[in-house]
A and B are shown apart, each in its own frame.
Chain A
Amino acid sequence: MSMTIENKIAAAPATREIKTAPSRFRNQIGAYKIFRSENCIGCGKCASLCPHGVHERFGDSGKMVRPRDYRCRGESCRSEEYFCINKCPAGALALRRNPVYSTLGDYRWTADLILSTWDQAENGHVTNETLESELGASGGGFDKLRFRFPAVPSGVAPSDVDTSLELNRRSDDPAAHKIKIDVPWYGGGMSFGSISDNMMVSRARAATAWNTFTCTGEGGYPELLRPYDDHIITQIATGLFGVREETVQRVKIAEFKYAQGAKPGLGGHLLGDKNTADVARMREAVQGTALFSPFPFHSVYSIEDHKKHVDWIKAMNPRALISAKVAAPSDVDMVAVGCYYAGVHIVHVDGSYGGTGAAPDIAKKNIALPIEYAITRVHNFLADEGVRDEITLIASGGLRNASDIAKAIALGADGVVIGTSDMVAVECIRCGNCESGRGCARGIASTDRELKHLIDIDYATQRLINLYNSYREQLVGIISRLGLRSVAELRGRTDLLMHLDYSKPE
């Protein structure tokens, strides 16, 4: 591969340092719009008043820069001393709800959650408290759960909280890697084909900076990812696209994808349009043809067959951890225990509201269990079988923010996998058009040679690093307020949660 500037950036390690990573768009979307009329005299009063940086004067020119209204707190400012609309000597400012805001988002990812994720990805912390950053509007599952914080401060300092997660808990496999990640999440599988190599490498850089992992998905292991081998999970899915002995040998974790929450029991499907020359080369397929990953693995019809799969990887890479990614059917608890007996280190349950690059709508909505139901089922069943502490339970499928991560862990997961949040961090708006034509118009889920350059590697890396920092901050906040000292202590503590429909008021 030729060493372009882009490749050099891709190979340069990133650090956890928080740097502001503003939107890549000229008009960042916010909840409000500020209009400045011709009456503006350019006095700069608004710029001196606004603590959120909405207004800025262009040097001493007497001209104002177009308001950065995505930072505006809107009506919540009205009672403040610095409310620009009232203080403008020329009456030149007007405040309106942004009409785009009301068209943005859905029940699961509300407009507020999207905007808040952007805020966190830009700044590395939650800076806009007027946006609801913890709850969606789905009316069930995580959105009905709340933490029971003690009324008196716990006395645990946030700096004392340990957020690390040990991925290998098996006592019967001493030869396997011991891997501890610094945050209790890693990135979900997204293939080269569903997303661009720029996006993949950005995720890998962010994962490396935070000492966690990202997953290749099914679709090969681009050379650009080589510097990040120790933080990559290579996925082996039913189509075996891009799976080679050599790629299995270079990683510390290999993941079998048995099913995906968004389309359980259906397999994968890369539409012909997205199978570009680069993708086809990587997948050893013919350009422009639709690529199917069938369901299921034709080599696996039982847990014994699954054991053969694990042995196969172990033969190639004896120290590798094996993860089994499964969807959530009604017998997911049984499947998880079977995974344990087959020798996997990580059982990754993907709930039905999880993300995807393309899936039939009927499957996304209806097939298999939402993750909220699946976690407790699997956690309790593993405990009843006496193997809970021998396996790592990872939950995914519709976790949107730090609060969801904490709730999933309190319900019984050891850690989680996030995917959609990564996409939203680089300004995905969940329009759902990832799958067709040239792919994502915003350059995220596209391998189109032109569109992929809409994502700058440094920008995307920094946005992800910032988001992870914000997630960790909030997670530490929740854990310390609960009086706990680690993520491990939070696991399975449903007594620290309450459910709006069932818990009795205190």
Chain B
Amino acid sequence: MPGKYHIETKEVPPRTTTVGRFGIIDLYETCARGCRNCVKKKCIYDIHKKEFDFAHSLDRPTEFMNECMNCLMCVQNCTRGALTRTQNPEYTWLGNGYWKPAIIAGIWKMAATAKLPVSGAGYGGPFSGPGFDSMWTDMSEIVRPTRDGIHGREYISTSVDIGGLPSNLEFGPRGELLGEESPVIELPVPFILEVPPLGHISKNVLEAMARAARGMDTLFALDAEDAEEFSEEFAGWLAPRMKNSAIEKHAALIKSVRMVCLEDSPDALDAVARVKAINPGAVVRITLALGDGAEARVVELVEAGAEAIQLSADINGDIVYSDGRVEFIKDAFRRIHSLLVDRCVRDRATLIADGGIAMAEHLAKIIICGADCASLGIPFLVAMECRMCGACSRGVECPVNMSEVPPEDGAWRVMNLAAAWRNQLLEVLGAMGIREARRLRGEFGRAMFREDLERDTFQKIFAGA
């Protein structure tokens, strides 16, 4: 039996005060004081007992509130009705319209505990929504290839490859392989780490991400100047991003890494050749912003031999075209993937999705829509307690002091989150009866899209279509 891949985890509590959703408010003047029947003593979660401990903590006096399980037993049983529950306004300010407070709080929890979120009661969210919320993944009712359900999850592989596969192999008369072998990097998880476009990116943050990339055996894409600093310890897991003009300057670095990242440019393929001249074993990723003409450009690049292309939307997964049209990343990927399949060149290049991937389900869904893997930055920054408040972009002091993230703990939190996401991916793959993340790519048939369902169900019935 082959060794099983496993992400190491370690519980790392938050460094700073987390922001909870609700608070239990005590109307102290209503309290009868001498009441011997105080509901606070009866809390089955012992939250109120912690109130006393935390009251003495200067930096986090209200922390206990965030541990409240919201059962309302104290609120509903207090003799004088002196307790009430309210929304924490600070919670509603977290993130933005796409990175909702629940997503951010969820990431924090996973980053601290590495546990995949499990809860009771049915789903309480909207019926469907924009973006990834307009698709559902399928399941296989009876017949399934994994055949062993929850106990078989450990046999599901989440590995993916970065690099191009030739459409066929050619052999010489003695059976020897002809032509050059193109480099392929096998990642045990379908994502790479990347420095996000926002946030306070301190040296400690970079080191934490590099450590996590090494811990999980994936890659970490960061600027070449920063990569130089870490190359001694982490070279095998770094993917330096550089300008075409700086390729020769970073020759030593390029020789030591497995992947190099370039921006798309008219002479991108020449630049790739220059990198290959320095290190023929490196995979070169070309990053391309989704938008006008991106589709044609991807086809052009793939047909001309590009082996890995990262397609970027904005942090919310949106792509804005010059005519004002906005498209979501999943729809762009479906189109581009299908186009490459139609031209019989899909396997010649790896497509990496970037933007809008905020939850484990998004990762599964973008792979279904045709990405081989994703590049993730913001989720891991949030794992290290970033609140996406934008203070750093306004030159205001970071409320969670990202420059002080201890690299070891930061790495653990990143790996905790990654482990929780991977576990969720296994759930989805298991339910579909798919044994490999590789096979999930482009499996539109294993997903159900709202527009199709509405057309075939309600539109058919009610609009007579």
Partner-B contacts on A (CB < 8 A): 25-29, 66, 98-100, 102-103, 105-109, 137-141, 143-144, 238, 258-259, 262, 264-267, 269, 292, 294-296, 298, 300-303, 305-306, 326-327, 329-332, 335, 352-370, 372-373, 376-377, 397-398, 420, 428-435, 437-438, 440-442, 445, 451, 494, 497-499, 501-504
By beta carbon, the residue of chain B nearest A102 is B87
Q: Are B126 and A433 in contact (CB under 8 A)?
A: no
Chain B positions 86 through 105: 1 when the CB is less than 8 Å from some CB of chain A, otherwise 0: 11000000000000000000
Q: Are B120 and A435 in contact (CB under 8 A)?
A: yes
Q: Are A368 and B124 in contact (CB under 8 A)?
A: no
Q: Which of B45-103 contact A (CB under 8 A)?
A: 45, 69-73, 75-79, 81, 84-87
CA distance A428 to B71 in the complex (A): 9
Q: Are B142 and A306 in contact (CB under 8 A)?
A: yes
Chain B positions 396 through 430: 1 when the CB is less than 8 Å from some CB of chain A, otherwise 0: 00000000000000000000000000001001101
Chain B residues closer than 8 Å to A107, beta-carbon distance? 124-127
Chain B residues closer than 8 Å to A27, beta-carbon distance? 75-78, 81
Chain A residues closer than 8 Å to B122, beta-carbon distance? 108, 262, 353-356, 364, 397-398, 420
CA distance A494 to B458 in the complex (A): 10
Chain A residues closer than 8 Å to B359, beta-carbon distance? 362
Q: Are A29 and B119 in contact (CB under 8 A)?
A: no
By beta carbon, the residue of chain A nearest B88 is A103
CA distance A301 to B149 in the complex (A): 12
Our pick among A106, A438, A451 for the contact of B124 (Cβ within 8 Å) is A106
A-B complex: 7 closest residue pairs judged by Cβ atoms: A140-B127, A434-B120, A265-B431, A106-B124, A295-B149, A441-B71, A265-B139
> Given contacts A264-B431, A431-B71, is CB(A367)–CB(B136) below 8 Å?
yes
Tell me whether B265 is interfacial, beta carbon within 8 Å.
no
Tell me whether B6 is interfacial, beta carbon within 8 Å.
no
Q: How far is the CB of B315 from chain A (nearest CB, A)?
A: 21
Q: Are A265 and B71 in contact (CB under 8 A)?
A: no
CA distance A96 to B96 in the complex (A): 30
CA distance A106 to B127 in the complex (A): 11
Our pick among B72, B76, B86, B431 for the contact of A363 (Cβ within 8 Å) is B431
By beta carbon, the residue of chain A nearest B450 is A140
Q: How far is the CB of A276 from chain B (nearest CB, A)?
A: 15
Q: How far is the CB of B97 from chain A (nearest CB, A)?
A: 16
Our pick among B73, B119, B126 for the contact of A359 (Cβ within 8 Å) is B119
Chain B residues closer than 8 Å to A102, beta-carbon distance? 86-87
Question: Could you list 5 examples of A-B contacts with CB < 8 Å?
Answer: A103-B22, A296-B142, A331-B141, A430-B124, A441-B69
By beta carbon, the residue of chain A nearest B69 is A433
Q: Which of B73, B119, B144 has the most CB of A within 10 A?
A: B119
Tell me whether B453 is interfacial, beta carbon within 8 Å.
yes
Q: Are A352 and B128 in contact (CB under 8 A)?
A: no
By beta carbon, the residue of chain B nearest A377 is B457
Chain A residues closer than 8 Å to B69, beta-carbon distance? 431, 433, 441
Our pick among B78, B139, B432, B458 for the contact of A259 (Cβ within 8 Å) is B139
Tell me whether B331 is interfacial, beta carbon within 8 Å.
no
Q: Are A327 and B86 in contact (CB under 8 A)?
A: no
By beta carbon, the residue of chain B nearest A98 is B84
Q: Are A296 and B149 in contact (CB under 8 A)?
A: yes
Chain A residues closer than 8 Å to B78, beta-carbon distance? 26-27
By beta carbon, the residue of chain A nearest B79 is A26
Interface size on B, residues (CB 8 A): 69
Q: How far is the CB of B93 from chain A (nearest CB, A)?
A: 16
Q: Besides the contacts A266-B150, A306-B142, A438-B44, what 15 more A-B pairs have beta carbons closer than 8 Å?
A: A25-B76, A139-B126, A140-B128, A262-B123, A265-B141, A265-B433, A352-B123, A356-B122, A358-B119, A360-B117, A367-B428, A368-B139, A369-B448, A437-B45, A445-B120
CA distance A451 to B431 in the complex (A): 34
> Given contacts A376-B461, A433-B69, A498-B462, is CB(A99)–CB(B85) below 8 Å?
yes
Our pick among A106, A330, A358, A503 for the contact of B118 (Cβ within 8 Å) is A358
CA distance A26 to B106 in the complex (A): 33
Chain B residues closer than 8 Å to A109, beta-carbon distance? 124
Q: Are A503 and B463 in contact (CB under 8 A)?
A: yes
Q: Are B138 and A329 in contact (CB under 8 A)?
A: yes
Tell me whether B246 is interfacial, beta carbon within 8 Å.
no
Q: How far is the CB of B386 from chain A (nearest CB, A)?
A: 22
Chain B residues closer than 8 Å to A364, beta-carbon distance? 119, 122-123
Tell me whether B137 is interfacial, beta carbon within 8 Å.
yes
Q: Are B119 and A435 in contact (CB under 8 A)?
A: yes
Q: Are A360 and B77 in contact (CB under 8 A)?
A: no
Q: Are A367 and B118 in contact (CB under 8 A)?
A: no
Chain B residues closer than 8 Å to A326, beta-carbon distance? 141
Q: Are B116 and A295 in contact (CB under 8 A)?
A: no
Q: How far is the CB of B51 from chain A (nearest CB, A)?
A: 17
> Given contacts A26-B78, A266-B149, is CB(A362)–CB(B116) below 8 Å?
yes
By beta carbon, the residue of chain B nearest A294 is B149
By beta carbon, the residue of chain A nearest B129 is A139
Chain A residues closer than 8 Å to B365, beta-carbon distance? 366
Q: How far is the CB of B444 from chain A (nearest CB, A)?
A: 11
Chain B residues closer than 8 Å to A294, beta-carbon distance? 148-151
Our pick among A259, A292, A397, A432 for the contact of B121 (Cβ within 8 Å) is A432
Q: Are B84 and A265 in contact (CB under 8 A)?
A: no
Tell me whether B361 is interfacial, beta carbon within 8 Å.
yes
CA distance A258 to B143 in the complex (A): 11
By beta carbon, the residue of chain A nearest B148 is A294
By beta carbon, the residue of chain B nearest A420 is B122
Q: How far is the CB of A444 from chain B (nearest CB, A)?
A: 10
Q: Are A99 and B144 in contact (CB under 8 A)?
A: no
Chain B residues closer than 8 Å to A25, beta-carbon distance? 76-77
Our pick among B81, B120, B147 for the contact of A26 (Cβ within 8 Å) is B81
CA distance A258 to B309 in the complex (A): 42
Chain A residues closer than 8 Å to B84, beta-carbon distance? 98-100
Tell me whether B16 is interfacial, beta carbon within 8 Å.
no
Tell me whether B393 is interfacial, beta carbon within 8 Å.
no
CA distance A28 to B120 in the complex (A): 23
Q: How far is the CB of B126 from chain A (nearest CB, A)?
A: 5
Chain A residues closer than 8 Å to B79, beta-carbon distance? 26
Tell me whether B182 is interfacial, beta carbon within 8 Å.
no
Q: How far is the CB of B181 from chain A (nearest CB, A)?
A: 38
> Given contacts A26-B76, A373-B453, A442-B71, is CB(A366)–CB(B44) below 8 Å?
no
Tell me whether B140 is interfacial, beta carbon within 8 Å.
yes
Tell me whether B459 is interfacial, beta carbon within 8 Å.
yes
By beta carbon, the residue of chain A nearest B463 is A502
Chain B residues closer than 8 Å to A434, beta-carbon distance? 119-121
Chain B residues closer than 8 Å to A329, beta-carbon distance? 138-141
Q: Are A303 and B125 in contact (CB under 8 A)?
A: no
CA distance A327 to B365 in the complex (A): 20
Q: Are A420 and B139 in contact (CB under 8 A)?
A: no
Tell me whether B360 is interfacial, beta carbon within 8 Å.
yes
Q: How far is the CB of A285 from chain B (nearest CB, A)?
A: 16
CA distance A371 to B73 in the complex (A): 33
> Given contacts A353-B122, A359-B118, is CB(A100)–CB(B137) below 8 Å?
no
Chain B residues closer than 8 Å to A259, beta-carbon distance? 139, 141
Q: How far is the CB of A143 from chain B (nearest CB, A)?
A: 7
Chain B residues closer than 8 Å to A370, beta-carbon distance? 127, 136
Q: How far is the CB of B71 from chain A (nearest CB, A)?
A: 4
CA distance A15 to B151 in the complex (A): 45
Q: Are B121 and A365 in contact (CB under 8 A)?
A: no
Chain B positions 298 through 333: 1 when the CB is less than 8 Å from some CB of chain A, otherwise 0: 000000000000000000000000000000000000
Q: Which of B44, B78, B139, B151 has the most CB of A within 10 A?
A: B139
Q: Which of B263-313 contact A (CB under 8 A)?
A: none
Q: How far is the CB of B107 from chain A (nearest CB, A)?
A: 13
By beta carbon, the residue of chain A nearest B446 is A330
Chain B residues closer than 8 Å to A100, beta-carbon distance? 72, 75, 84-86
> Given contacts A108-B122, A364-B123, A431-B69, is CB(A296)–CB(B76) below 8 Å?
no
Chain A residues closer than 8 Å to B360, beta-carbon distance? 362
Q: How far is the CB of A432 from chain B (nearest CB, A)?
A: 4
By beta carbon, the residue of chain B nearest A503 is B462
Q: Are B85 and A502 in contact (CB under 8 A)?
A: no
